[in-house]
Every structure is written in structure tokens, then in C-alpha cells.
Chains A and B, each alone.
Chain A
Amino acid sequence: MSKDPKIQKLQIALDNREVQPPKRNEKAEKIRAMFVSGIISIIMLLTIFITLPLTVLSWSGLFVYSSIVSLVIFLFILLFRYFSTLVMAYLYITKYTVEEKEGYYPFVSILVPVFNESMVVADSVNSLLEIDYPNFEIIVINDGSTDDTALVAESMVGYKKGISSMVKISLINKPNGGKAKALNAGIQYSEADFVVCMDGDSQLSSNSLKVGMRHFIDPYVGAVAGNVKVWNRRKLFTDLQALEYLEGLNLARSAQGFLRMVNIIPGPMGFFRKSCLRDAGFYSSDTYAEDADITLKILAKGWKINYEPNAISYTEAPTTLFQLLKQRYRWTRGILQAIRKHRKFIFNPTLNFNNTLILWSMFYEALLWPAMNIFANLFFIVVALFYGMSSLIFFWWLGIMILDMMAAIYCIAAEREEFRLVLYAIVYRLVFILVIDITKAMATVEEFLGIKMTWGKLERSGMGSASGGTAAKK
């Protein structure tokens, strides 16, 4: 409990309503999907049965031929994706480096939603007090925690000394309703024109607000995505995730930043203009990836979303396979739910072409890419075991490894990260990404089957103070 006698507790009422999406008839959708896919399958089988005897191919030859064609197409898509991402990311970082930016220091509310984060909330809030920015407040939203998170957070309420000024820390204790509702509660209470949404277990770099807020000088910019890095490294598992965040997530965000259409503002670090959030209808809790959902809503309304590579948020990555699968399962299903919610843009580019582009890229990353990766690996396993061509899998792995290593070297050089992470590229695609892709594929099947899911809760071990940590901190 705080010893400050000037702390007061007030009873308030929060508006719990959200923009409701159009109601779905899930049963009708499933029947329609089964019917359409059944018709398409029958047509394809009939086509094969009728035309195969007219060719020189047999059934096994057809399998081999179609597999090779699929793999060649996959390879072209893979190369196109890698090089287009690298080129756009490079162009964005170059432009970012040379252009001069004015400072912009409006009043900002940093929203910290917490649920059972008693181990980490104090460190997170203390890291916010080290932010070098003259004009901000901190609002902690306790989303019905069942441990002593409320007590820990309450002890931090008051006016605390920041780097440039005194910082007001407030706390909202509300019943459990999920991260989206917690953030909406903070946005309601905040009186600032801009909010920063983060996770309760994240720590921000000291200059993150300064570099993130200057993007809002442009009135077309509605939100800015930050740079998320893994904090708890020095283990194989977390080092692989650190590489994944660098090469898989931040590289893609940098490329999207070039187009000013970042498709997912990460939960640990997102800057928002409040009028933009209002335009988009605030956060919704009807998906398990509220960050993807709000980003798509913002893009659909015509706002631009920039990427700020120097606004860094350090987050704790899962340390066990179980925790990792839980996280990726939720991410995949949440992203698919968000895509489904905005599916009208997928097939109608005249509504918002930018959104169509973004949704197709998300569809590719969430569905097609994992399926192609799994299929390619299975193909080479079958070919090696049943046809004796085991060297093919080696060359496949070698090619992918070289691409990954190339991307890793670029990302690590651009972000001045630890060079030792490049070596993890050797097993990155072979083991780590394969496990992730299998989880994604299973999650995709479950999402299409409509199997219910819950939030789950990642276990935290605490990152310690901002001065410690194993990640290279700028």
C-alpha cells in the first residue's frame, strides 16, 4: 500500500460497450464452406479422371509432377517475399536515417493493462519513469487480477519523479474483461490526445516516446508501431525467438513502414492518436488478436500507420515449448479472426485497396506460408525415404538457411543487435519455424472448424530492473 496520504479512491462506471460486428450465421457458413469446397474437389477430381488418360502421366507421375511444380512456385514466392521485404525495409531505413524530423511533444497517456502481473508490473512502471519525455502520465489498468497485482500497482500511484518532469501514475481496478476492454477503459479515462498502449510485462526504451510521437506531426498518421525485442535471451529457445522477432516481425514491419501500412501494431508498443481510435471504433474483444483487429480497423478508415524502429519495447518471450505453443496458437487464431472480420476487403479492392493488399499478405503469412513450408518438408521426407533422394532435403535446407542468414545479417546490422544471433539461422528454419508452422496449421484447422478457445495466461518470471537484462539495450 502507498504511504502517500494524498491517494484517493473513487468509484467510477466504465462504458463497456463495443462496436459489434455484423452477426454471423456460423452454421450456414460451415455448410456453405463444405458445399463449395466439396463442389470444387469433385470438379478437380473429375478433371483429373477425364484428362489423365489423355496424357503420358500415371498417378504417381502426376503426384511427382504436381509436387515439383508446387515447390517451384513456392520457391519463387519465397524468393520474391524475401527480396521484396529486404528491399523495402532497406529503403525505409535509409529514408528514416537521412530525413530530418522535428520534435513533437504533446501530452501522452501510457496505458498499462495488467492481469496477474504482480511479478513484473513494478519493473514495467519503473521503466516508464525513465522515459525521457517531458509530458506524459501513466495509467495502469488492473483487469481483475486474482493475485496481488492490485496491491503492487496501488503502491505505485502518485506523482513520481521522471527524467524531465513529475509523472502522474493512476490505477483503474476493473472486473476482468480482457485486454481490449482494459485498454478501452484506459482510453476513456485518459484526457490526452495521444495514447501509448503497451503490455504489462514490457519495458520501454528511454527515448521511445520522443521518437514515436514525432510521426504524428503528419495529420494523416493515425498510429505508429514500435519495435519489439526479446528481453530474456541467453537460452537457445529465447535466442531463436529473438532472431524471429528481428527477422520475421521487425523486418516485415520495416518493409510495411515504407508503405505506411503496418498491418499489426504490436501489443507491447503502439502509439495511437485518440481521434483515430475513435474513428476506428476503439478496441474490440471479439477476436483474440485485438492488436491486429484495431490495426485493420484503422487502415480501413484511411489512416496511415508508420513504423518507428527506435521506439523499442523489451518483452519477455516464452521460455518453454508449451508457453510458446500457447502464444502462437492464440496469435494465429486471433489473426484469422481479424482477417475474417474484415473479409469484405479481401474480395473487393475498390473499397480500400491498401486494406486488400494488407489482408492478402496477412492471409499468405498466416495460411499459405505455413502450409507450403510443411508441404515442402513432407515432400522431401517422402522423396528421401521412398525414392532414396535424401540429398534433396539437404539442398532445400541449405538454400533456405542461406536466405535466412542473409536476412538475419541485414536485420542485425540495421538494428545493431547481437551478431551471435546469426548463427541461430542454421537451425531457425529447420526446427523452430517448422514447429511454429505446424502449430499454425493446427490452429488454422481449429479456427475453421470453429472450436472454442480461451485466452490462457503466459507465466512470467520477471525481467528485473531496466539496468539488468540480457538483451542489448540502447
Chain B
Amino acid sequence: MELIPILSLIILVATISTFMLAVGAYILYKVRERKGNVAQAPQPAAIPAELVTPTSLMADQRTTHAGTRRTYTGEQYITRDGTGEYQRFSTNVQDNVPGPDLRPTYVGEQQGQGSAYSEARYTKSGATEDEKYQPKKKFMRYTQEGYSEPLKDKIEKKKKDEDGLRWR
């Protein structure tokens, strides 16, 4: 059957051509990229930025805390409320927390607006952030009542039911 030698020749030529094309293209790419190399400046610890946001955000934060963002089922999704769940996250949590000690973004002097936003955001609460992020509490399920242990039995039962369904 002479088809195989012909196809073999085509494949061989295509493979060799691909090798040459790839190597040539790579060399050209390196030559072209070398022209655009720029040295990177050292990055400061904090950088100024500009936040462009709708004004009505401030009205929402002053007047509504819990319930601002409702879940689809109508249950109240806790965002920032008087207990300071998110404030706990937002405020300085440098104590005993590994990784970068992220400062919250703060709003400096606004252009023609009050500073209620910054005050609301950075009120320190008495709750400790550490409790939330200790390893044993890392996988705690977040519910409306606060953090709760994951329901292992429920999950295992659900998995068993799934297994039963899968292997039926």
C-alpha cells in the first residue's frame, strides 16, 4: 500500500517544518521582546490610589447596616452590622496573624463629602479577629447565628446518599 509512505513523507516534512518554524519564531520573539525590557522599581509599602464610587454608597452605610444585602431567599446576609463582623475583618488584625498585615483601605479627605464612611469602616470592635482565623475554626460554616461546626454527620449522610445514587 503506497499510501503509507506518502503520508509518512507528509508527516515527516510537516514535523521538520514545525520544528524550524517553532525555533525561528521563538528566536524572533526573543529579539523583539528584548527591546522592551524595563527595570522594575521597588514597591513601597503603601500606595496612593483613587476610588471612584457612587455617592449613594455613603447613605446606605449610615442608615442601613444589616439587611443592606439580602440573600435571594430573603434571609438576612450579615455584611456589616453593629457587632462588627466585617469591621472585625477590616480593622487592624496584626495580632498573631500570619501573612501580610493588611491595613484597611482608608478614605482620606474626601472631595466635598463628609467622613462618615471612614468612621463607620474603621471603628474598632471588642471582638477578636484571631478567633475567626485560628486553624481549628478555619472551616467553620458561616450562618446567620454565627460560626458553627460543619455538620459532618449531615455531610457524610449526604455523601452516602450520593454514593447510593451513583452506584445504583
Contacts and interface: CB of A to CB of B under 8 A. Distances in A.
Interface of A: 4, 6-19, 94-95, 98-99, 103, 105-107, 134-135, 154, 157-159, 164, 168-175, 177, 181, 185, 188-189, 191-193, 218-220, 274-275, 278-282, 285, 301-302, 321-322, 325-326, 329, 377-378, 380-381, 384-385, 390-391, 393-394, 397, 430-431, 434-435, 438-439, 442, 452, 454, 456
B101 A7 contact: no
Contact of A394 (B7, B103, B139, B141): B7
B53 A177 contact: no
A456 to B, nearest CB: 7
B104 A10 contact: no
A10 B114 CA distance: 11
B108 A10 contact: yes
Contacts of A134: 70-72
A282 B14 CA distance: 45
Interface of B: 4-5, 7-9, 11-12, 14-16, 18-19, 21-23, 25-26, 28-29, 32-33, 36-38, 43-57, 69-73, 77, 79-80, 86, 89-90, 98-113, 117, 132-133, 138-142, 150, 155, 162, 165-166
B46 A14 contact: yes
Given A8-B54, A18-B100, 10 more contacts: A6-B56, A9-B111, A15-B105, A17-B45, A157-B54, A172-B50, A325-B25, A381-B19, A393-B8, A394-B7
Contact of B77 (A107, A172, A279, A456): A107
B43 A275 contact: no
B12 A322 contact: no
Contacts of A10: 50-53, 107-108, 110-111, 113, 117
B11 A188 contact: no
Given A9-B52, A193-B142, A329-B29, A394 B11 contact: yes
B43 A16 contact: yes
A12 B106 contact: yes
A119 B57 CA distance: 28
B111 A8 contact: yes
B53 A157 contact: yes
A12 B49 contact: yes
A107 B79 contact: yes
Given A10-B107, A188-B105, A439 B99 contact: no
Contacts of A158: 54
A188 to B, nearest CB: 5
Contact of A106 (B71, B89, B104): B71
Given A12-B106, A13-B106, A168-B57, A219 B51 contact: no
B51 A12 contact: yes
A177 B44 CA distance: 11
Contact of B53 (A170, A285, A438, A454): A170
Contacts of B140: 219
Contacts of B109: 11
Contacts of B110: 8, 10-11
Contacts of B55: 6-8
B29 A322 contact: yes
Nearest to A168: B54
Contact of B48 (A11, A18, A326): A11
A454 B33 contact: yes
B9 A177 contact: no
Given A13-B48, A16-B47, A170-B52, A322 B77 contact: no
A430 B50 CA distance: 50
Contact of A17 (B16, B101, B155): B101
Contacts of A11: 48-51, 107-110
B8 A9 contact: no
A169 B52 CA distance: 9
Contacts of B12: 380-381, 384-385, 390, 393
Contact of B16 (A170, A329, A381): A381
9 closest residue pairs by CB, A with B: A438-B22, A394-B8, A105-B72, A6-B55, A174-B49, A281-B99, A171-B52, A107-B69, A173-B50
Given A103-B72, A322-B28, A391-B8, A15 B100 contact: yes
A306 to B, nearest CB: 14
A170 B54 contact: yes
Nearest to B49: A174
Contacts of A9: 50-52, 111
B22 A8 contact: no
Nearest to A274: B89
B11 A430 contact: yes
A304 to B, nearest CB: 9
A281 B89 CA distance: 14
A169 B16 CA distance: 52
Contacts of A391: 4-5, 8
A26 to B, nearest CB: 16
A171 B51 contact: yes
A281 B105 CA distance: 17
Given A8-B111, A438-B23, A185 B28 contact: no
Nearest to A94: B166
Contact of B15 (A13, A19, A193, A434): A434
A191 B52 CA distance: 16
